[in-house]
Amino acid sequence: MGNSETVLKQALELDFVYMDTFTTRIPTAWGYLFCNEGHPAYYTANHAHLYDAPQDPKAVIEEVLQFYGERNLVPRFYIYNLEQQTAFLREVQNYGFRYEELVSPVQVWDKQLPVLHGRQGVVIEQVTEANFQEALDIECSIPELGGRAVREKAFTEEFQHPCFTHYLLRLDGTACAVACLFSDGKQGRIESVATKLEFRGKGLIGELIRFIQAEAKQKELENLWIFPINERVERVYARYGFQTAGTFRVGHAFLSGKSIHEINQG
């Protein structure tokens, strides 16, 4: 897949396409502003994206404060290329922003279908109008995905978008896990992998992942990506042929509300 910088840029390009399905991307002289006023609780839909170190950190921060303040949205930055961002990080914290760093592994499937014995009682089906509510209820029950405040509207929008295909797994007839395949051209990524708490530890995620990998093969996707939220999840996906192509530090600066670490901890 090339060096880490190349992989990050490829991953970010697909990430932009992904975000363009649910938010508006506004180019600036220093990066991008993402905004969806109808979805204020969705961090990814409302943030300033900064990759290259700005020449005038104060001007960038003032612009972001004004832009999101006028829309009654929490000002926040997602900051990449951290080794070059020392001056900006110092300034953004001087403005009272809270700050956290996230380790973000990027994994790519090795295109080998894992051999699973097939658990008795497991049925995987595409999400349709008929089972939409069951899938929605699972996603909204998972704090790591943002809970109902984020996923109820986002899931509905994704369901209506042609780039997203959602899947529901049943065990002995009970809906208990979901996952999504986002595809654009020859690139794909797995999103919104979630299992009800009482069904975790049973290997059901492996069944879902293997099913989506088969779908990716059928679609002849060149790459199938996945962005685990932490190293523990990264190890789980590695069991199913996802190789870590790079691990990157991303800064999250936010003026109020919960950190992403706090959200992921439920």
Q: What is the number of other CB atoms lying within 10 angstroms of the CB of residue 138?
A: 23
Say whether pLDDT at 2 is over 70: no
Give the chain's mean pLDDT. 92
Distance CA 257, CA 259 (A): 7
148-200 residue pLDDT tens: 877 888 899 999 999 999 999 999 999 999 999 999 999 999 999 999 999 99
Percent of the chain surpassing pLDDT 90: 75
Starting from the edge strand earliest in sequence, which strands make up the sheet with 164-171, in order? 24-27, 32-35, 47-50, 76-79, 242-254, 98-109, 223-226, 187-195, 174-184, 164-171, 122-126
Span 219-246, mean pLDDT? 91
CB 54 within 8 A of CB 87: no
63-109 residue pLDDT tens: 999 999 999 999 999 999 999 999 999 999 999 999 999 988 899 99
Residue 142: its pLDDT value, please? 80
Say whether pLDDT at 246 is over 80: yes
pTM of the model: 0.86
115-146 residue pLDDT tens: 776 778 999 999 999 999 999 999 988 877 77
In terms of pLDDT, which residue wins out, 261 or 55? Answer: 55
CB neighbour class for 155 (10 Å; exposed up to 12, middle 13-18, buried from 19): buried
> Which tokens is 189 given?
């990524």
Query: Looking only at Cα atoms, what is the longest distance across the chain?
Result: 60
Residue 266: its pLDDT value, please? 62
All domains of the chain in start order, with CATH = 4-104+248-264 (3.40.630), 111-240 (3.40.630.30)
Span 34-56, mean pLDDT? 95
Say whether pLDDT at 216 is over 90: yes
Q: What share of the chain is helix, strand, coil (3-state, %, to 5)?
A: 40, 30, 35
Q: How far is CA 112 from the centre of its chain?
A: 23
CB 190 within 8 A of CB 154: no
Instruction: Give the closest residue to 46 by CA, choosing from 18, 67, 15.
Output: 67
As a whole number of Å, the end-to-end CA separation of the chain is 34
Percent of the chain surpassing pLDDT 70: 97
Residue 35: its pLDDT value, please? 98
> In the structure, what pLDDT confidence band is assigned to residue 44 with cuts at 50, 70 and 90?
very high
Q: Quickly tell me which residue has 């595409």 as its tokens.
A: 126
